């Protein structure tokens, strides 16, 4: 499905360019109006990232997250950004969040993620795996600043026995560019791991990008800047996803 993305800094909608906080664009978008448009257009799920919480766990935007999630009960929210403890997860779930996105911990604290998959269920935990292509799919962590040298496939193989079901995979070089997604990347992942529901993220700049991604087998497409900058509407994106063929 199409999942609109909302990234928040100090309560404002922003987009970062390739994850760089110093290259952020602040939008005048009214969150409530945007969410209402999503709801009316039939959006089933929204992806929210608390960029303040991701940068500093002491500055989580719990107040606004609670207001958003508890107001739009017809939409399933998946939330990420600064999720480091069970307290964080419990808080977000108490607001009504349906999925919790965790990133760096999937690499730095595997035992904890194993526990969370068991405690909260594989329908709840989404692993955000950010990829830098260096001949291989290398996972980056800590806001994409650190290249672990660990290969994506190795991470998936590790967690599959623990029931891993959802991953959100981003090609860092594509994020925030509007220049199209890494179609080959998602083809390879979906073909090799058909039991994992793959969410793609990064680079969506046109309806053709959406249709091309659908052909790879991804379950969901996270769309941020393309919607905020009105390259296409939410309704157009959903219609494109539902089409069996695409005419440019």
Centre a 10 Å sphere on the Cβ of residue 57 and count the other Cβ atoms it contains: 15
H-only helix segments in the chain: 31-40, 51-55, 62-71, 86-95, 105-108, 110-120, 152-159, 183-192, 207-214, 225-228, 234-242
Helix (H/G/I), strand (E/B), else coil: 159: helix
Task: Examine the residue annotation and report whether 50 is marked as an active-site residue of this protein.
Answer: no
The pTM of the full predicted model, rounded to 2 decimals, is 0.93
Dihedral of alpha carbons 185, 188, 191, 192, sign: negative
Centre a 10 Å sphere on the Cβ of residue 151 and count the other Cβ atoms it contains: 14
Tens-digit pLDDT profile for residues 165-219: 999 999 988 877 788 899 999 999 999 999 999 999 999 999 999 999 999 999 9
Task: Examine the residue annotation and report whether 7 is marked as an active-site residue of this protein.
Answer: yes
Nearest alpha-carbon partner for 5 in 116, 160, 14: 14
C-alpha dist (Å) from residue 185 to 6, 40, 197: 24, 33, 14
Chain centre to alpha carbon of residue 77: 11
Strand partners, 147: 140
| Domains within the chain, CATH numbers bracketed | 2-242 (3.20.20.70)
Tens-digit pLDDT profile for residues 96-148: 999 999 999 999 999 999 999 999 999 999 999 999 998 899 999 887 677 88
In degrees, rounded to 5, the angle at the alpha carbon of residue 102 between the alpha carbons of residues 112 and 138 is 95
Split at pLDDT 50, 70, 90, the class of 56 is confident
pLDDT of res. 139: 95
Tokens representing residue 185 in the block: 């990347």
Tokens representing residue 150 in the block: 């660990």
Does residue 95 surpass a pLDDT of 90?
yes
pLDDT of res. 245: 64
Selected catalytic residue, list 7, 52, 175, 220:
7
Q: Are 85 and 116 in contact (CB under 8 A)?
A: no
Q: Are 126 and 105 in contact (CB under 8 A)?
A: no
Chain centre to alpha carbon of residue 98: 13
Selected catalytic residue, list 88, 130, 175, 220:
130
Tokens representing residue 182 in the block: 């890494």
Split at pLDDT 50, 70, 90, the class of 18 is low
């Amino acid at each position: 499905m199409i999942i609109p993305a909302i990234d928040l800094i100090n309560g404002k909608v922003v987009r970062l360019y390739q994850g760089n906080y110093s290259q952020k664009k602040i939008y005048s978008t009214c969150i409530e109006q945007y969410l209402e448009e999503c709801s009316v257009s039939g959006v089933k799920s929204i992806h929210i990232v608390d960029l303040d919480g991701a940068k500093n766990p002491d500055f989580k935007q719990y107040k606004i997250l609670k207001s958003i999630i508890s107001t739009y009960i017809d939409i399933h929210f998946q939330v990420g950004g600064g999720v480091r403890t069970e307290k964080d997860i419990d808080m977000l779930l108490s607001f009504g969040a349906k999925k919790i996105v965790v990133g760096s911990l999937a690499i730095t604290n595997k035992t904890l993620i194993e526990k969370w998959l068991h405690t909260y269920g594989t329908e709840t935990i989404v692993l955000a795996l950010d990829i830098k292509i260096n001949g291989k799919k290398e996972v980056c962590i800590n806001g994409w600043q650190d290249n672990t040298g660990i290969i994506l496939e190795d991470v998936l193989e590790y967690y599959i026995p623990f029931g891993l079901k959802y991953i959100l995979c981003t090609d860092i070089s594509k994020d925030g560019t509007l220049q199209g997604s890494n179609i080959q990347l998602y083809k390879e992942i979906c073909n090799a791991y058909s039991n994992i529901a793959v969410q793609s993220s990064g680079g969506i700049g046109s309806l053709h990008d959406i249709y091309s991604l659908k052909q790879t087998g991804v379950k969901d497409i996270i769309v941020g800047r393309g919607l905020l900058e009105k390259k296409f509407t939410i309704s157009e994106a959903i219609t494109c996803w539902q089409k069996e063929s695409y005419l440019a």
